[in-house]
Amino acid sequence: MYGLLLRSIQAYLRATFGTALWGRVLRLADLPPEGFEPMLSYDQPMLDRVLQAAGAELQRPVESILEDVGTYLVADPEQRSVRRLLRFGGASFPDFLHSLEELPERTRLALPGLDLPQITLAEIAPGQFRLSCNCSFPHLLPVALGALRAMADDYGALVLIDPELACGPASAGGVLRVQLLETAHGRGRGFALAGGEPSNGW
Amino acid sequence: MDGERCLAAGWWSAALLDRLMPLHLVLDAGGRVLSHGPTLGRIFGGAPLRGRAFLDLFALRRPAGLRGPQDFAALAGQMLRLVPRLPGAPVAGEDADWQDATGQDATGHGAGHEDEAGFRLRGHILALPAPPGPAGEAGGDGGDGQAAAWIVNLSFGIDLPRAVAQLQLTDADFAPTDLALELLYLGEANAAVTGELRALAQRLDDARRQAREEAETDPLTGLRNRRACDSMLARLCREGAAFGLLQMDLDFFKAVNDGLGHAAGDHVLMHVANVMKSSSRAGDCLARVGGDEFVMLLPGMTDPTALRHLAERMIALVSQPIAWQDSQCHVSASVGFITVQAGEAADPSDLLAEADMALYSAKNAGRGRVAQAGEPPPPPRAGAAAAAGG
């Protein structure tokens, strides 16, 4: 989990700001220059150090960097396999939202041992969704926010997605509110069932 | 009442069957198509199938030996394996290799593409019972146990990805209960994960090679180190290979270090390494095994004369004055060598000891000399400063 997240952050920072900035982030975080491997294990303090260093280098809040990481994972052509695997969740954006509840199982099917936190979707009113994530892992929410916005674009849906602010310690992990204004607003990106070639954009 | 009338009468709703089983066909008692699901139609490029004989559309691969529709009852409940007979494709017999029948692309475009090697289908055939009709009609269905019609339901099975690519299927071409999308998802997820693991393995392998390279290299001269030399010597001995072992020691090196400093000494060592490189072949092992001690392992080189010439040439090159800043370094070298014939199965440490003894006798003969192990020492050189430090 940390390996995937660290590798995503590394890919996003290198692709967007260049390898020199990424090198500075690693130095600032006091980490070796090789960077991270998606399939290896790392711990949370290491992630925190990288995020802190990236925030300091870019002079941006960590949340906004993580949100861009989420968008990058879905929208960047170099990362096409992430987007394709998510698109298998459903033919429309609401279908896709419902498939998020299956995300941990889908992930485990592909990569046994990788346990994503459980996501729960509630349709509180037509077009109004509440996505809650029961994890004690604060960094995932902004990544999910960025990825969901990019997926909405991908489907051509017009949505408003915002974190639900009033969440006490009981709802650690966080809640996103998704308001679906229009299912077919834009053209979106096409998705053919066939046509998956593994990408290697890390 | 026959199948046609059952269908017309709405006994089976074609729309219902289409939704439930997009890859089905309804056949009349004679094995001709009455109706079919939408995805099945795509296999044949949308060509009208109604009235066509089922066995003209598909080659039945298993079970073998089907004579005609009269045998459908025997097939009921069994797993059928079949391939579509596509327009333009050679019509293969039921027992022909399935590829014969499916070398063609149903949609007719993109011929020659790798994905279009054809696909197989599997499924089953079941009898559709006639509806309870008016008493007078009951006997008209063909008698006891005779089906009014047949229903065949098919699946792409393991050829799903190929069929999806070839027919450009979408999620709408499958029933919502079908696991097809999960299978496609799994295929892609697997490919992504495997690709990632392969990339990781490659990066780790590169790192391992680099670490090994560094562990076996003398950082100053770029020659191999003692560890690498020992391991190659052990391998040559183990394999019973023929080779020459040449041990070289610098003379007067200490004087350079003491007189001009260690940087000058390093410069001399690098010069010697270049002399060794320029005198050797690609497969040779050139190692710096101590401060000013070098070993060369020369596979296949067992001719004493050639080895002696090689050693003398290197000594001559090393003995040239070596420019260092404003001054010159003067060193020389002594060499002891030994040859190992094929199949000799020599012991590595014995070999090194013998080469060392030859080196000593060369040194004792007055520096700048070459000695072969087991041979008499070279005659002392006239005027050699035997006491000079090496």
Mutation choice for B interface testing from A116, A193, A197 by most B CBs within 10 A: A193
10-residue stretch averages of pLDDT, chain B, 390 residues long: 64 82 94 94 92 93 87 90 77 42 39 51 89 52 63 93 91 92 91 90 92 92 95 94 96 92 94 95 94 95 95 95 91 95 90 95 89 82 47
Q: What is the 3-state secondary structure (H, E, C) of chain A?
A: CHHHHHHHHHHHHHHHHCHHHHHHHHHHCCCCCCCCCCCCCCCHHHHHHHHHHHHHHHCCCHHHHHHHHHHHHHHCHHHHHHHHHHHCCCCCHHHHHHHHHHHHHHHHHHCCCCCCCCEEEEEEECCEEEEEECCCCCCHHHHHHHHHHHHHHHHCCEEEEEECCCCCHHHCCCEEEEEEEECCCCCCCCCCCCCCCCCCCC
Contact B193 A110 (CB under 8 A): yes
* Residue A68 pLDDT > 70: yes
User: How high is the pLDDT of residue B272?
Assistant: 96
Q: Average pLDDT of A19-34? A: 94
Interface predicted TM-score (ipTM) of this complex, two decimals: 0.84
Contact B195 A37 (CB under 8 A): no
Q: Which residue of A has its CA nearest to B162?
A: A194
Q: Which residue of B has its CA nearest to A194?
A: B165
Question: Which of A88, A199, A202 lies nearest to residue B185, judging by beta carbons?
Answer: A88
Using the Cα atoms of residue A73, residue A75, residue A80 and residue A83 in order, give the sign of their dihedral.
positive
d(CA B192, CA A17): 25
pTM (two decimals): 0.72
* Residue A77 pLDDT > 90: no
Contact B188 A39 (CB under 8 A): no
| pLDDT tens by residue, B183-193 | 999 999 999 88
Does the annotation mark B292 as catalytic? yes
> CA of A165, closest CA in chain B: separation in Å?
34
- What residues of B are in contact with residue A110 (Cβ under 8 Å)? 186, 189-190, 192-193
Contact A193 B181 (CB under 8 A): yes
Question: Which of B185, B186, B200 lies nearest to residue A37, judging by beta carbons?
Answer: B200
User: How high is the pLDDT of residue B142?
Assistant: 43
* Residue A70 pLDDT > 90: yes
CA distance from start to end of chain A: 15
What is the secondary structure of B151-188 as a DSSP string?
EEEEE-GGGHHHHHHHHT--GGGS-TT--HHHHHHHHH
Q: Which residue of A has its CA nearest to B164?
A: A194
Question: Which of B115, B185, B199 lies nearest to residue A85, judging by beta carbons?
Answer: B185
